[in-house]
Structure 1
């Protein structure tokens, strides 16, 4: 009998398992072997601090973000006073799972099948030899990613969550390509690459991640990525790995089943709109799920499982709402994307955007800057001002 059974060993599940084990609970952590999630791999300073990420896992330190418009114009935004760390998900996720095991979590390798309930709750799973097993537990945490089998089976609304498909290729980092900078993330807003999201070129030390995402059926993700590589001067780089996966677009309205289970991470839909950022929010969601599970184990009250969503949305809900509004406003057409990248020229926009990104909270101390941004944003959306440029990288 375990106190908690965590399904899914990505950043969310591994964080939940570690927190529960550190709190003295008997924890099982079930994960499928060998899967690497497609991911740009960016983690902000707050994630490094909150979750004690060691420096050896950071394969690149990014100090500039380049926003590229449909016309090919670019705005370089310096990351002042810090950096964004880039991690490789295969080594990063395994580190988190091993850290949970060091605290006492029992690692299991296999595939979730279902949950059965009688006198006790039992998680039914298939191990790597094909044998079906049943493990009793007091509480379950579903952290099995977007299109979660746990959410679909257990939580109202778990079948309807919208998502985009992300695809990327891991390539050998180029040598002598003038357009590539190993300390810069490039974000490409171009309907020819993605009609409703964006493409990216993210450095990872000896490798790089090049990819795009879309929620529109029929888009050829591989061809779009090939086009992006060609436009970025990366077509001749060796391709080391190709990966694709869904990314949820909004948090579920409910994360628990009202009985003995709570969701976390992508399974709960906690990927930031507009940016698609997921690692920090997955780990924060895992910590919130662990906190709710601890409360449930202490009191036996099913309503305590609601704490996970309440805690997470209290801290991050407004950021998600603002990012969703931005995506809805600017990702509709190339004309809107052109205006969005033009707006990024504004120093107030740059400063407030990265203050919010680095610290994961909206900046409230500069009301005049917020007012100026609001007016400029409205003027761009209404077409009152035309996009203005002073050259590439300006």
Structure 2
């Protein structure tokens, strides 16, 4: 991205006027959505992003995302009609989506760039650079410092508000929000491969495979997600020393994908829970992965990142209008009001069901239940807990307790590879 000639050299002092209402650091789904919303509301926005960065991601999105954020169907590279859950014993349970929809799949390199370009079309100014720090010099606003090349001079930009949407190891968060550096993370790694039409071992271009096995991940799961002509094969774990690359290679071998051309390899941390504080009480607000917004247990992040970006934009507008830093606290409150209960339940699920292969086996067995499947897909599609069927919830509660006590019976609809 070409830099404006007036900012090709570092500023000589910090006395320049405020140049932007908001500087958004990070151009993933969260940052790009925040920049888009703010720009089309008439605010002067700078979207700062590093070049050539693609996050490892299965790329699953619910149809609701397309509607809510005006994303065209053309960005979907595949539509998964089922999920296959694989237990430690290699027993599998298929969960068809049925008539309520599909799981859309996107390629993050194309998807993220489309979102950034849309923000620019709405009026946001795009720049490529590496965030360094936020400075305060006693004058109004904050000064965002970034470099356009490694070891190059700093460019300084004054803004009313900084939105840090720069990932799980956010430099904005570490430098401005106490405690942000202690947020626990899972490290994710995936390989994007040229996918075959199908394999005898079970690869299916219309199905998402989720592998719950301790040898694949001691505390998370592995995945094989279809992306049309390609597939994402990945794994996550918070255990230091566990070989993520070795685990992915094992999955490729066992699913007949070992000889598929590898297009790219990527790794990055994924936060495990929302931070306790999303702002510095002055002029910095965190959002997306930087705020810890990734669903526990599932690791789903794209939809929640975009919701968080939209809430950050709404909060930013309230801050600009009022000049009151206290309104920045609304972002965390508003997000958790919408999705906090789901995150809490998923966190409990991850803590309990992923703790041993014995429990993983019972968890996959539970997924064969029709009530569990129906309510799971409804919750995924609607992004909220489904309350319309109290008897179904009661049946699930009873079955869940039975599995916790080890007395649950395997469902007859389970399949074998």
TM-score, L = length of structure 2? 0.93
Equivalent pair of 1:76/1:393 in contact (CA under 8 Å): no
- The answer to whether residue 125 in structure 2 is matched with residue 125 in structure 1 is no
Give unmatched runs, 5+ long, in structure 2.
1-18
Alignment of 1:255-266 (within 5 A): 255-266=278-289
The 4+ residue runs of structure 1 with deviation greater than 3 A are 386-391
Deviation at 1:208?
0.2
Question: How many residues are treated as equivalent by the alignment?
Answer: 394
Matches of 2:189 and 2:249 in 1, distance apart? 11
> Residue 106 of structure 1: which of 125, 135, 140 is its match?
125
Equivalence for 2:60: 42
Equivalent pair of 1:4/1:140 in contact (CA under 8 Å): yes
> Residue 107 of structure 2: which of 88, 92, 100 is its match?
88
> Residue 75 of structure 2: which of 50, 57, 69 is its match?
57
- The answer to whether residue 177 in structure 2 is matched with residue 158 in structure 1 is no
Equivalent pair of 1:273/1:320 in contact (CA under 8 Å): yes
Deviation at 1:335?
0.5
Equivalence for 1:10: 28
Out of 128-137 and 233-242, give the one that drifted further. Answer: 128-137
Equivalent pair of 2:195/2:260 in contact (CA under 8 Å): yes
Equivalent pair of 1:194/1:212 in contact (CA under 8 Å): yes
2:24 counterpart SS class: strand
2:265 counterpart SS class: strand
1:159 counterpart SS class: helix
> Residue 223 of structure 1: which of 232, 246, 258 is its match?
246
CA gap of 1:393–1:307, structure 2 versus 1, over 3 A, is farther
Query: Could you say what the CA RMSD is over the residues aligned between the two structures, in angstroms?
Result: 1.2
Equivalence for 2:265: 242
Out of 148-157 and 185-194, give the one that drifted further. Answer: 148-157
Equivalent pair of 1:342/1:389 in contact (CA under 8 Å): no
Matches of 2:198 and 2:326 in 1, distance apart? 58
Matches of 2:198 and 2:27 in 1, distance apart? 38
Equivalent pair of 1:162/1:248 in contact (CA under 8 Å): yes
2:22 counterpart SS class: strand
- The answer to whether residue 302 in structure 2 is matched with residue 283 in structure 1 is no
Matches of 1:313 and 1:47 in 2, distance apart? 18
Give unmatched runs, 5+ long, in structure 1.
none
Equivalence for 1:196: 219
1:332 counterpart SS class: coil
Matches of 1:194 and 1:239 in 2, distance apart? 21
1:271-328 CA-to-partner distances (Å, cap 9, x unmatched) read 0000000000000010111111100000001011111111100000001011111111
Equivalent pair of 2:93/2:413 in contact (CA under 8 Å): no
